[in-house]
């Protein structure tokens, strides 16, 4: 599976570029004026996983290869973005290929950081962004409808079926609904995927908190109430704090995180949420040459998991040697695991579990 892509959206000056820089240790421009980000900032980061570090240590691997996540930061959106305001239409096009969307919402007031609408109001800000995503999707659907209508006149049965699906999707959007909130048929879901519609992608609300805890909590409560109605998840962090944390040496960072009463950095928590949103899991391969994490869809079969490494392995799959991460750590080595009879041979239909340590046997 390619690096998981996550798009960052929000109004100007909500802290997106600051968060992006913290997450990717990049150099995205962060300034106190709208549209300082013109071209998208793209950063690929390693997915933190302490299990992989432990496995690499146990097998004395020569190198460790982590799963990866791609973050795409686009310019802040404003009302009318879908129609090109602030170059918004171009910006929205940059995130159509991502798997999930992170909507960063400002939960702090700061006179030195201007708000495009004059004052902070998380619910209004969320509504503005949501409407722009809906309008952008509506435009895509209407353009596709025009093309399919021409094909439909030739009597093509596939065009007729797609036309009906597009009409139903269009109706949902015109009612102001995100497609994730609608009950779609399998045919409609296929259209949503083929057009990469933005409101059909899983979304995580991220509340960017400020120094005033009382004020931030008031804003946060409103976001959580809205998210509960939508069945959406909310993650809280401080982009400013994340930036400060990730600028520290690793040992100092760990101490600082502990002092703050946190278990993970914002990056670790955001990726964990993304895996949950996208229904993803991780399995490992571990040997003297390399210990590596592989990202798969939950419910993936052993044969499909082999294909993530190479298509030849999927085609020529014979069986997989499997042990859970916990069992392997308890054993400490493959030799002890074999002695205890904990290395299992599984066939192509075996459903891979998160944390499985696997070795594939295949014929080319």
Q: Is 38 exposed, middle or buried (0-12, 13-18, 19+ CB in 10 A)?
A: exposed
Q: Are the C-beta atoms of 198 and 139 separated by less than 8 Å?
A: no
% of the chain residues with pLDDT over 90: 51
- Count of CA atoms in the C-beta half-sphere (13 A) of 83: 3
Measured distance CA(327)–CA(344) in Å, rounded: 12
pLDDT of 265 reads 80
Burial state string for 324-344 with b = 16 or more CB within 10 A and e = fewer than 16: ebebbbebeebeebeeeebbe
Strand 68-73, strand 41-46: pairing = antiparallel
- pLDDT tens, 325-364? 999 999 999 999 999 999 999 999 999 999 999 999 999 8
Q: Which of 42-46, 139-143, 230-234, 352-356 has the highest mean pLDDT?
A: 352-356
143-152, 262-271, 283-292: the lowest-pLDDT one: 262-271
Q: Find residue 4's DSSP bridge partners.
A: 69
pLDDT of 3 reads 59
pTM: 0.83
Number of neighbouring beta carbons within 10 Å of residue 93:
15
């Amino acid at each position: 599976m390619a690096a998981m892509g996550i798009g960052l959206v929000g109004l100007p000056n909500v802290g997106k570029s600051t968060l992006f820089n913290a997450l990717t240790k990049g150099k995205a421009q962060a300034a106190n004026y709208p549209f300082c980000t013109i071209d998208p900032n793209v950063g690929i980061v390693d997915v933190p996983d302490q299990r992989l570090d432990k496995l690499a240590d146990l097998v004395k691997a020569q190198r460790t290869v982590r799963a990866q996540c791609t973050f795409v930061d686009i310019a802040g959106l404003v009302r009318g973005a879908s129609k090109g305001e602030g170059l918004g239409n171009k910006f929205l096009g940059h995130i159509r290929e991502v798997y999930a969307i992170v909507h960063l919402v400002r939960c702090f007031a700061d006179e030195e950081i201007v708000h495009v609408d004059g004052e902070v109001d998380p619910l209004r800000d969320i509504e503005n962004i949501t409407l722009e995503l809906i309008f952008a999707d509506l435009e895509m659907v209407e353009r596709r409808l025009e093309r399919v209508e021409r094909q439909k006149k030739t009597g093509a049965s596939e065009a007729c079926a797609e036309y009906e699906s597009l009409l139903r999707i269009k109706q949902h959007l015109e009612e102001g609904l995100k497609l994730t909130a609608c009950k779609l048929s399998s045919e409609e879901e296929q259209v949503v995927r083929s057009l990469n519609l933005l409101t059909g992608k899983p979304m995580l609300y991220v509340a960017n908190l400020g120094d005033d805890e009382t004020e931030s909590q008031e804003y946060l409560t409103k976001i959580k109430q809205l998210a509960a109605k939508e069945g959406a998840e909310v993650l809280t962090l401080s982009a400013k704090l994340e930036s400060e944390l990730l600028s520290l040496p690793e040992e100092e960072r760990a101490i600082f995180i502990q002092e703050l009463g946190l278990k993970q950095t914002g990056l670790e928590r955001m990726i964990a949420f993304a895996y949950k949103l996208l229904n993803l899991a991780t399995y490992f391969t571990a040997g003297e040459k390399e210990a590596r994490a592989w990202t798969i869809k939950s419910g993936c079969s052993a044969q499909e998991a082999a294909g993530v490494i190479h298509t030849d392995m999927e085609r020529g799959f014979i069986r997989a040697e499997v042990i859970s991460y916990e069992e392997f750590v308890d054993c400490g080595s493959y030799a002890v695991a074999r002695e205890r009879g904990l290395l299992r041979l599984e066939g192509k239909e075996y459903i891979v579990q998160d944390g499985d340590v696997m070795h594939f046997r295949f014929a080319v």
